Structure 1
Amino acid sequence: MKTKSLGINTICAHVGEVEDKQFQGAISPLYMSSSYQYDGVDVKRYPRYFNTPNQEALGKKIAALEKSEAGMIFGSGMAAVSHCMLAFLHKGDHVVLPQTLYGGTYNFIVEEFGKFGIEYSFAKGFSEDDFRSEIKENTKVIYVETPSNPLMKVTDLEMIAGLAKEHNLVSMIDNTFASPINQTPADFGIDIMIHSATKYMGGHSDICAGAVAASTEHMDKIWNISKNLGGSLSDYTVWLLERSLKTMALRVKQQSRNAKRMAKWLDKNEHIAKVYYPGLKSHPDYKLAKKQMKGFSGMLSFELAEGIDPNQFMKSLKLIKQSMSLAGVESTILSPTHTSHALLTPEERANQGIADGLLRFSVGIEEKADLIADFEQALMIVAVTA
């Protein structure tokens, strides 16, 4: 089956299945074994080598979704990020990154890279000159996250890929917020796509996983270090993730539609000071997002009007859950200061533009009218006390 000619829902539903040769079941069988025959077989399988039947098959689905040659599944999004970074960065090497990063990634870099003798620089902005000015003779990797967490900044992928090729660098992207449904960075020349599969790929707030897609050449290097670091995922969770991916396109398209509708509603509401969503024409990156994204994501952030307590507002919501993580079918809301970016100092958050009153809203698949009604009743409560 040639995946290039298949539609996205067909890829989600069919590519990367394990064939049930014994009973011809409609879904992939689950192989739970942690011990396989090694003599007289084509593949010596071992869970830590990322090549059990379910791991191997799901890697093919991830690769097809990201228009790449190979895919791997990890125990978490941070396992995927760290394994990719350490596969291409060694003592004396240097990496360029944007200043606005997921808090876990930022913390990993500033706390761990010094121990490995790896240097890093954060671009001061998002233009080509901002990234180019940070490239050094020992730079090996350029890493981006777009849209960014939590301010939804959009980085020009074609520009990043061009810089990487010009300087013989490996380009990496955290594509979690967009998902392969809304953005396929390989179309623009990006080398390695990374996901917290906990999010849109899992989609039901019950899986913790990471995923990587790349060329076979790049994936060989990632696998070579990953087999030693041991960040593999249990086959039961791999099986659950494959099941969840079957509906990813349907879920993400609905979440993206809902998010755009909610962003427009919030943008007109007198109790909302600012909305961060690249699908709004007022967003500074709207044209770029429209050029390189198929949809604008189910994620947005906003700041309440002055005097309204964000914590009281979140506690007043009845339908939307105050909860960590994101991208489940249910809508959730959180304060980045207390969750995703809690590991950063106040100064570091300020440098990224993350205000204490900023709220990140992961829009689910509920009816728009129900989400608006929940916001309205919560705003009515907090606006009275403001």
Structure 2
Amino acid sequence: MSIKKNGLNTICTHVGELEDKQHKGAVSPLYMSTSYAFDDVEVKRYPRYFNTPNQEGLCKKIAALEHAESALIFGSGMAAVSTALMAFLKAGDHVVLQQTLYGGTYNLVTEEFSKYGIEYSFTQGWEASDFEEKIQKNTKVVYIETPSNPLLTITDLAAVAAIAKKNGIVSMIDNTFASPVNQNPIDFGIDVVIHSATKYMGGHSDICAGAVAASELHIERIFHLAKNFGGSLSDYTVWLLERSIKTMGIRVRAQNENAMAMAKYLYDHVAIDAVYYPGLTSHTGHELAKNQMKGFGGMLSFELKPFIDASKFQKSLKLIKSSMSLAGVESTLLSPAQTSHALMSPEVRAEQGIRDGLIRFSVGIEEVEDLMEDIEQAIAHVKLSTAIA
């Protein structure tokens, strides 16, 4: 199957599927074995080597979706992030990382890298020049996240990729918030694309997984470390993830549409102080997002006015769930200061613009009218309880 001749949903549905030769079933069979023959076989299969039949099929699908030569799947998004970074870094090396970054990645770098003698610098912003000024003679990797978690900042993919190539540096991106539906960084010159596949690829809040897509050369390098770190994924979860990706294009496009409607609604609401969504023309990265994204995504964040208690607001919601993760078909929201970025100090969160009243909103596939009604009743409930108190 030629990737370029087929559309997104066709790739989601068919690339990497396994043929059921025995019963001619319509879906990929699940191979649960953890022990395979080693004599007289073309491939010596072993789960920790990422080469069971279901693992190989899923990797082909993810590579096709990200326009990459190859891919690997992991037991979590952080397994993918840590393995990819450590595959290209050793003692004495330096990495430049975007200031606005997922809290788990920030914590990995600040808590672990010094133990391995790896130096790191965080940018002051997310412009291409911010990355260039942090590059040193020993810099080996530049790491970005766009749209970022949780403020949806937008970084210029092509510009950062060009800077990395000029300096002989490997460029990496966490592409989780965009998903392959909305953004394909390899098309802009980025070397390594990382996902928490728990999110939009899984899409139903019931799978924990990670993924890395890149050239065959880069994936081979990551594989040699990955097989030692042992962050592989069980074949049952692999099978579930392959099934979930089949509907990713449809799900994400519906979430894009809903998020745009919710962003506009929140932007005009008297109880909302600020809305961060690249689809809004008021967003500082809107024009850049238009150029490098096919859709603006299902994630946004907003700040309530001071007279609306954020904690009471979340507890008053009836349809939208207060939940730790994101990108499921159901709408969820959370406080980054209490969850995804809780490992950061208050000072670091403040530097990144993550205030205690900030709420990250993962928009699902429900009717937007129902989501709006839920937010309205929650705000009304908080106002009433405050007035009574």
Answer yes or no: same fold by TM over 0.5. yes
Aligned mates of 1:382, 1:256 — CA distance in 2: 29
Instruction: Calculate percent identity across the aligned residue pairs.
Output: 68
2:35 partner letter: S
2:23 partner letter: F
Q: TM-score, normalised by structure 1?
A: 0.99
Matches within 5 A, 1:373-384: 373-384=373-384
CA-CA distance at 1:348 after TM superposition? 1.1
> Partner residue of 1:44?
44
Query: What secondary structure, in the 3-state scheme, does the structure 1 residue paired with 2:303 have?
Result: strand
Cα deviation, 1:18-56, whole Å, max 9, x if unaligned, reads 111111110000000000000111100000000000001
Q: Is the 8 A contact 2:100 2:126 kept in 1?
A: no
Q: Is the 8 A contact 1:276 1:283 kept in 2?
A: yes
Query: What secondary structure, in the 3-state scheme, does the structure 1 residue paired with 2:327 have?
Result: coil
Q: Is the 8 A contact 1:207 1:241 kept in 2?
A: yes
Q: Is the 8 A contact 2:199 2:326 kept in 1?
A: yes
Aligned mates of 1:161, 1:304 — CA distance in 2: 36
Q: Is the 8 A contact 1:45 1:51 kept in 2?
A: yes
Matches within 5 A, 1:51-70: 51-70=51-70
1:375 partner letter: I
> Partner residue of 1:100?
100
CA-CA distance at 1:128 after TM superposition? 2.2
Q: Is the 8 A contact 2:144 2:174 kept in 1?
A: yes
2:335 partner letter: S
1:118 partner letter: I
1:125 partner letter: G
List gaps (5 residues or longer) in structure 2: none
Aligned mates of 1:139, 1:2 — CA distance in 2: 37
- Does 1:344 find its partner at 2:344? yes
- Does 1:264 find its partner at 2:289? no
Query: What secondary structure, in the 3-state scheme, does the structure 2 residue paired with 1:333 have?
Result: strand
> Partner residue of 2:143?
143
Query: What secondary structure, in the 3-state scheme, does the structure 2 residue paired with 1:275 have?
Result: strand
Aligned mates of 1:273, 1:383 — CA distance in 2: 16
2:11 partner letter: I
CA-CA distance at 1:270 after TM superposition? 0.2
Cα deviation, 1:111-133, whole Å, max 9, x if unaligned, reads 00001100000111122221111
Cα deviation, 1:39-81, whole Å, max 9, x if unaligned, reads 1111000000000000011000000000000011100000000
Aligned mates of 1:19, 1:170 — CA distance in 2: 36
Cα deviation, 1:88-135, whole Å, max 9, x if unaligned, reads 001100000111110000000000000110000011112222111100
CA-CA distance at 1:383 after TM superposition? 2.5
Query: What secondary structure, in the 3-state scheme, does the structure 2 residue paired with 1:64 have?
Result: helix
Q: Is the 8 A contact 2:96 2:134 kept in 1?
A: yes
Q: Is the 8 A contact 2:263 2:300 kept in 1?
A: yes
> Partner residue of 1:16?
16
> Partner residue of 1:278?
278
Aligned mates of 2:11, 2:172 — CA distance in 1: 23
Query: What secondary structure, in the 3-state scheme, does the structure 1 residue paired with 2:4 have?
Result: helix
1:345 partner letter: S
> Partner residue of 1:217?
217
Q: Is the 8 A contact 2:128 2:155 kept in 1?
A: no
Aligned mates of 2:211, 2:126 — CA distance in 1: 25
Q: TM-score, normalised by structure 2?
A: 0.99
- Does 1:359 find its partner at 2:359? yes
Q: Is the 8 A contact 1:66 1:213 kept in 2?
A: yes
Matches within 5 A, 1:1-386: 1-384=1-384, 385=386
Q: Is the 8 A contact 1:271 1:383 kept in 2?
A: no
Query: What secondary structure, in the 3-state scheme, does the structure 1 residue paired with 2:337 have?
Result: helix
Aligned mates of 2:18, 2:78 — CA distance in 1: 27
Query: What secondary structure, in the 3-state scheme, does the structure 2 residue paired with 1:3 have?
Result: coil
CA-CA distance at 1:328 after TM superposition? 0.1
Query: What secondary structure, in the 3-state scheme, does the structure 2 residue paired with 1:143 have?
Result: strand
Query: What secondary structure, in the 3-state scheme, does the structure 1 residue paired with 2:61 have?
Result: helix
List gaps (5 residues or longer) in structure 1: none
Query: What secondary structure, in the 3-state scheme, does the structure 2 residue paired with 1:366 have?
Result: coil
Q: Is the 8 A contact 1:49 1:227 kept in 2?
A: yes
Query: What secondary structure, in the 3-state scheme, does the structure 2 residue paired with 1:290 have?
Result: helix
Q: Is the 8 A contact 1:200 1:248 kept in 2?
A: yes
Aligned mates of 1:297, 1:89 — CA distance in 2: 31
Query: What secondary structure, in the 3-state scheme, does the structure 1 residue paired with 2:302 have?
Result: strand
Aligned mates of 2:355, 2:138 — CA distance in 1: 34
Query: What secondary structure, in the 3-state scheme, does the structure 1 residue paired with 2:383 have?
Result: helix
Cα deviation, 1:198-245, whole Å, max 9, x if unaligned, reads 000000000000011000000000000000000000000000000000
1:348 partner letter: V
